[in-house]
Amino acid sequence: MAFTCATGKHRRPSRMQRTTARAAGVAALTTTGVIGTLAAPALAAEPSAEQTGLTPVITIGDTVAAQIDAQAAAQKQAAEEAAARKQAEQAARERAAEAAKEAREAKERAAREAERKRLNTYVLPVTGSYVSTAYRAGSGLWSSGSHTGVDFHAASGTTVHAVGTGTVVETGWGGAYGNQIVIKMADGTYTQYGHLSSIGVSVGQKVTPGQRIGLSGATGNVTGPHLHFEARTTPEYGSDIDPVAYLRSHGVRL
């Protein structure tokens, strides 16, 4: 018996020390309310130790230690699970933020593309009109002997539009052209609008496709109201190119 006890005592203190230390740790933790339920299982183990009448401390110690080990393992697992959950949530948030950013960027790209398309769009200078006098038509009316632009049918006071994006480089009296506007287009070409009854833009002003720049009229050398329209490679008279081909090359149907 003494031998057994001695053996037990050799073994027990280390277990007890560990157990006590853990129990103290548990007690300390209990005050925080984190693992308050630990106290109950520890006490519940006592009756079985009394029943055996043998090495009760070992029984209690082992039971408590096992429970604490299990509890510690459960806590560790719970902590790991919580950490993993937190990490997964963080990753999900980052993915969502990234997706939102990409969606935002795609939207901005689409808006830029739409704006670029809009600015590259060309329209007729007079909505729904038609060419009443062709390019290079011969007539005594033109000092050069040849028509340097096209005439669009338009009653006096009809809205005249910039055919595309550009900057106004000239406005005012243009002799035979009457009141005129010259616009430098975004692609470096020029468009000219003549015989206007009213000029609605000034030099340096930016214009966009379809913007109202003035009203048609019968100023200058004309036999009746219409819009004289030219496409040019420079702002100057004499650098004219076929305005119908020019507009068509920019997607205008006429």
Query: Taking a C-beta distance cutoff of 8 angstroms, is the pair 118, 209 a contact?
Result: yes
Catalytic pick among 161, 195, 226, 250? 226
Q: Which is nearer to Zn ion, 122 or 152 (CB)?
A: 152
**What is the DSSP-derived secondary structure letter of residue 184?**
E
Q: Shortest approach of Zn ion to residue 221 CB, angstroms?
A: 9
Q: Which is nearer to Zn ion, 122 or 229 (CB)?
A: 229
Q: Which residues contact 170 (CB under 8 A, 6 or more apart)?
A: 180, 181, 182, 203, 235
Edge to edge, the sheet with strand 212-215 lists 159-161, 212-215, 198-199
Residue 40 forms beta bridges with which residues? Answer: none
Interface with Zn ion (CB under 5 A), residue from 45, 196, 199, 228 = 228
Q: Shortest approach of Zn ion to residue 220 CB, angstroms?
A: 9
Stretch that binds Zn ion, among 49-57, 106-114, 185-193, 225-233 (CB under 5 A): 225-233
Stretch that binds Zn ion, among 81-89, 148-156, 157-165, 245-253 (CB under 5 A): 148-156
Residue 151 near Zn ion by CB under 5 A: yes
Q: With CB under 5 A, what is the number of residues at the site for Zn ion?
A: 2
Binding track, positions 85-104, relative to Zn ion; x by CB under 5 A: --------------------
Q: How far is CA 125 from CA 129, 167, 227, 228, in A?
A: 8, 15, 8, 10
The span from the first CA to the last CA of the chain, in angstroms, equals 119
Nearest-CB residue for Zn ion: 228
* C-beta atoms surrounding 8 within 10 Å: 15
Length of the chain: 254
Closest alpha carbon to 209 in 147, 252, 155, 166: 166
Residue 226 designated active-site: yes
Residue 232 near Zn ion by CB under 5 A: no
Binding track, positions 174-213, relative to Zn ion; x by CB under 5 A: ----------------------------------------
Q: Which is nearer to Zn ion, 20 or 139 (CB)?
A: 139
Q: Shortest approach of Zn ion to residue 228 CB, angstroms?
A: 3
Strands (E), the chain: 131-133, 150-153, 159-161, 166-173, 179-185, 190-196, 198-199, 206-207, 212-215, 226-232, 240-241
Interface with Zn ion (CB under 5 A): 151, 228
- Catalytic (active-site) positions: 226
